[in-house]
Amino acid sequence: MGRLVTGVRAWIDERFDLAGIKALAQKKRVPVHRYSYWYFLGGMTLFLFGLQVLTGALLLLYYRPGADEAFESVQFIMTQVQFGWLVRSVHSWSANLLIFMAFAHLFSVLFLKAYRKPRELTWVSGILLLFLMLGFGFSGYLLPWNTLSYFATKVGTEIPAQIPIVGRPILLFLRGGEEVTGSTLTRFYGLHVAIFPALATLLIGLHLALIQWFGMSVPPSVEARWRARPQEKKGVRFFPNFVLRELMAWYVALGLLGRWRHSSHGAWASRPIRSPRLLRVSNPSGTSCSCSRR
Amino acid sequence: MFPASGISDAGPRSDSTNTARRRFVNILLGTGLTASAASFVYPILRYLIPPKVPDLGRDAVLAAHIAEMEPNTAKTFRFGSRPGLLVRTASGEYRGMSATCTHLGCTVQYRSDLREIWCACHNGMYDLNGRNISGPPPRPLEVFEVQVRDNDIFVRRKPEA
């Protein structure tokens, strides 16, 4: 076993500069000061995003977009597929936690002034990512095709329609027609599983490359003190010291997810069962459908 | 928080003690990570197994109406999640069987010219009792029970022998 690992490592090392990569990983350091804990939040957001990609890919195996099938397929995942309830619940709850973490990350960067020169572009790419995450949330919310998601999308697409001149075209583009129908569902599905993930891959790549390029930002107060007394300057290696600590934080996040699922599973599961048939909206005439009946 | 070096406070302990402690901590970390990885992978593997579609069992399926079955014709019908074949022989008898070829799973059809059942994929032949008579099919087709009630022809699986 050990020989196999050594052999594989040697094979790769002959072709790529493994030692160089290793040296790079060891070179990266994370500054240590009283605000160091805030450095966890970005990694935490990234971890939750990874969790979303994994659970989202799994949901794709059973989810079927379409006005006639979406709701049933989600019910199928929740009741028939082994651990389907878990995969879907983790996807749903970690999406919420992801938005929370993204905002916490944003505020930590804001208050520690990490956005200042030369890191403006890192900040901008982060803001774009935040909007993209909100887009994921908005598009994903419709996919279960239950009453709540239907009305949330109806209202949510009505809001940009109030913008003068461009509002109506935006509404038509988002809904794929006058009303929220199966066309809206397939549109949001396409955005949610193809277009947004592609954009996210690009933006996250850029965001991480910029962080790698500039290194970790040190808050101004700490920077000033370190300039006055350089012997106080401290740091740890990114790998393994920081990564292992971050890993601990990830476990805490997973624990939170488990906790949430258990405390609110009942209400959450019953929600789509309330009135699924009302959502069979195949009413292209634009008149209000039976959806308002409760 | 964040001690600059993990073992800087080790003090005057000998190197071998440190190595032993390090090994112990590494084993703890490794088993912890392995156990949690297993707890993540297990539900995912179970999730990947598709749930069983409820089987027909002994339920009867309406295969055809009398009116649509001329002698020496056949009809393909849905039998659960698979196709079934209902044949009316030239002498007027009904025969019901699975339409899934036992070779590679194509759907077989009735050849009124040969009065046999034929699989178009690899030229497999079955007789009207579902027996494989030529070509690659390794086993006979599953034969079903046919019941005529009024104008409807029902087909169901034969009881287990």
pLDDT in tens, B104-154: 999 999 999 999 999 999 999 999 999 999 999 999 999 999 999 989 999
Residue type, A21: I
Tokens of A53: 């990609």
Is residue B87 within 8 A of residue B128, CB to CB? The reply is yes
CATH topology of domain B61-157: Rieske Iron-sulfur Protein (2.102.10)
- What does the buried/exposed string (b/e) look like for B74-100 if buried means 16 or more CB atoms within 10 Å of the residue's CB? bbbbebeeeebbbbbeeeeebbbbbbb
Between A271 and A229, name the one with better pLDDT: A229
A104 Cβ contact list (under 8 Å, min separation 6): A41
Residue A50: pLDDT band with limits 50, 70, 90: very high
Interface test with A, best of B29, B46, B47, B49 (most A CBs within 10 A): B47
Tokens of B23: 């090994």
Q: What is the largest CA-CA distance in chain B?
A: 102
- What does the buried/exposed string (b/e) look like for A176-194 if buried means 16 or more CB atoms within 10 Å of the residue's CB? beebbbbebbebbbebbbe
**Does residue A14 sit within a domain?**
no
- Residue A245: list chain B partners with CB under 8 A: 2
Predicted local distance difference test score (pLDDT) of residue A294: 34
Interface touch A82/B46, C-beta < 8 Å = yes
**Does residue A50 sit within a domain?**
yes
Tokens of A28: 């990266």
| Residue tagged 């619940």 (tokens) | A89
Residue B56: pLDDT band with limits 50, 70, 90: confident
B73-98 mean pLDDT: 91
CB pairs under 8 A between A and B: 41
Predicted local distance difference test score (pLDDT) of residue A266: 36
Q: What interface predicted TM-score (ipTM) does this complex get?
A: 0.78
Is residue A133 within 8 A of residue A102, CB to CB? The reply is yes
Predicted local distance difference test score (pLDDT) of residue A288: 38
DSSP one-letter string for B115-131: TEEEETTTTEEE-TTS-
Is residue A74 within 8 A of residue A144, CB to CB? The reply is yes
Backbone angles phi, psi at A284, to 5 degrees: -75, -5
Instruction: Report the mean per-residue pLDDT for chain B.
Output: 87
> Closest Cα to residue A257, out of A104, A136, A89?
A89
The CATH number covering residue A162 comes to: 1.20.810.10
What gap in Å lies between CA A108 and CA A105, rounded to an integer? 5
Full residue range of the structural domain in which residue A77 is found: 34-234+257-279
Bridge partners (DSSP) listed for residue B153: B64, B148
Compute the nearest-CA separation of A81 from chain B (Å).
Answer: 6
DSSP three-state, residue A1: coil
- Residue A77: list chain B partners with CB under 8 A: none
Write out the residues of chain B at the interface with chain A, using a CB-CB cutoff of 8 A. Answer: 1-2, 4, 6, 29, 36, 43-44, 46-51
What gap in Å lies between CA B65 and CA A81, rounded to an integer? 37
**Does residue A239 sit within a domain?**
no
Domain ranges, ordered by start, for chain B: 14-48, 61-157
**Does residue A161 sit within a domain?**
yes
B32 Cβ contact list (under 8 Å, min separation 6): none
Least confident of A228-232, A265-269, B10-14, B65-69: A265-269
For chain B, percent of residues with pLDDT exceeding 70: 90
| Residue tagged 């409807």 (tokens) | B152
What gap in Å lies between CA A218 and CA A225, rounded to an integer? 11
What gap in Å lies between CA B157 and CA A187, rounded to an integer? 44
Nearest CA in chain B to A82: B47
Q: Given the DSSP bridges, would you call strands B143-149 and B132-134 parallel, antiparallel or unpaired?
A: unpaired
Is residue A74 within 8 A of residue A88, CB to CB? The reply is yes
At residue A280, does pLDDT exceed 70? no
Write out the residues of chain A at the interface with chain B, using a CB-CB cutoff of 8 A. Answer: 32, 36-37, 58, 61, 76, 80-84, 86-87, 234-236, 241, 244-245, 251
- Residue B2: list chain A partners with CB under 8 A: 32, 36, 234, 236, 241, 245
For chain A, percent of residues with pLDDT exceeding 90: 53
- Residue B44: list chain A partners with CB under 8 A: 58, 83, 87
- pTM of the predicted model as reported, rounded to 2 decimal places: 0.77
B78-92 mean pLDDT: 90
Backbone angles phi, psi at A30, to 5 degrees: -110, 125
Interface touch A83/B47, C-beta < 8 Å = yes
Q: Given the DSSP bridges, would you call strands A29-31 and A235-237 parallel, antiparallel or unpaired?
A: antiparallel
**Does residue A16 sit within a domain?**
no
- Residue A88: list chain B partners with CB under 8 A: none
What gap in Å lies between CA B147 and CA A210, rounded to an integer? 74
Is residue A145 within 8 A of residue A67, CB to CB? The reply is yes
Interface touch B36/A251, C-beta < 8 Å = yes
User: Where are any strands of DSSP class E within chain A?
Assistant: 29-31, 235-237
Domains: count for chain A: 1
Residue A272: pLDDT band with limits 50, 70, 90: very low
Interface touch A32/B43, C-beta < 8 Å = no
Which helix H or strand E contains B65, and what residues bound it? strand B61-65
Between A56 and A69, name the one with better pLDDT: A56
Between A53 and A241, name the one with better pLDDT: A53
Cα A74 to the chain's mean position, in Å? Answer: 20
What gap in Å lies between CA B56 and CA B77, rounded to an integer? 14
Residue A263: pLDDT band with limits 50, 70, 90: very low
